[in-house]
Amino acid sequence: MQAVAKIKAGPGLNLIDALIPKPKANELLLKIKACSICGTDVHIYNWENPWDSKIKPPMIIGHEGFGEVVEIGKAVRGWEIGDYASPESHFHCGKCDMCLSGHANVCRNMLGLGMGGANGTYAEYVVVPTKSALKTDKKISPEVGTLQEPFGNAVYTVDEGHVKDKTVAVFGMGPIGIMAIAAAKALGAEMVVGVGGSSIHKELAKKMGADIVIDRKNEAVIERIMEETDNKGIDVFLEMSGAESAIMQGFEAVKKGGSVVLLGLPTKQITIDWSKYLVLKDLAIKGVYGRKIWDTWQLSSELITSGKVDLAKLITHRYKLSEFEKGFEVMKSGNCGKVVMFPK
């Protein structure tokens, strides 16, 4: 089969010929119908920290994907050939204290699909443990199916913000931030503000439901938010960028007694005025990682199948898997929404 792999330490990826994997007793073999590029994959391509220590070449990468079950392990029950499946990219053990207490997304023995420990979705076939595969409604198209994994990050973040009837600001309008805008509107937010920089992301944010889009490069972000909220500030601050400036602005913009949900990963330590922004504002602060398994996936699927969120609007580029270099170039440019690839 064709696959895209990190075959040695250092920048770059290669298109390789690889053996089609065989599923073990509790695994499914999926024929990949679509896969998509995440910012993490760009970091892996560039061989940047921390991925230069997590990835052990050679390894097929990719953690966003959607496929059809074509072979079933001998111990598998409840699955049939022809079922559609979306892989949960965090392969949890199901046995540790985190898994047993409902926190499988932070399993102590986690294996990362295409990110460390398990070959990924940038291939014609991939094996997935049944406990890490979600049976997917066949009315979801492959190109939308592959977006369920990143959409889950957005949905988990929004859901933890309890956004119904509240004013919400999303700082960071990359694809997951834009997905968060759509999810917040679908889950009943009264007003959703998107804060970002690039023109294509501002356009996509409006298309996906943002009530107000603020250009962080050319507008006074805090002043504009206060103007739009009658000088009260926002109820919920969703941090999707990991950028220090966005984090500081978000804490400034959220009102006293408000909520903060953090998904973005800063590349360095950040100093914050603990008294001013955390204690004296009486904020509720939650960090999120990945998706709740399987609560977030079920909510995400409902938002898609009900038509409340149309993720297809976010796809701006489509390539064959063999054209992966084109996909990564457009991702590096930042001039895109989601980039989807299709095996031959």
Nearest to 83 by CA among 104, 66, 62, 68: 68
Q: What CA–CA distance (Å, rounded) separates 146 from 167?
A: 30
**Residue 61: helix, strand or coil by DSSP?**
coil
**Tokens standing for 197?**
């920089």
Q: What is the DSSP letter of 123?
A: B
Nearest to 340 by CA among 310, 308, 312: 312
- Name the catalytic one among 43, 162, 305, 316: 43
For residue 43, indicate whether it is catalytic: yes
Q: What CA–CA distance (Å, rounded) separates 54 from 50?
A: 7
Q: What is the DSSP letter of 233?
A: -
Cβ neighbours of residue 33 closer than 8 Å, sequence gap 6 or more? 66, 67, 68, 84, 142, 145, 146, 342, 343
Strands (E), the chain: 2-6, 14-17, 27-36, 59-60, 64-72, 84-87, 90-91, 111-113, 117-118, 125-129, 133-135, 167-171, 191-196, 212-215, 234-239, 254-262, 284-287, 315-320, 338-342
Beta pairing partners, 236:
168, 259
- Name the catalytic one among 40, 136, 157, 296: 40
Going by their DSSP bridges, the two strands 2-6 and 14-17 should be labelled as antiparallel
Nearest to 171 by CA among 226, 112, 237, 223: 237
Burial class (CB in 10 A: 0-12, 13-18, 19+), 250: buried
For residue 103, indicate whether it is catalytic: no
Catalytically active residues, by annotation: 40, 43
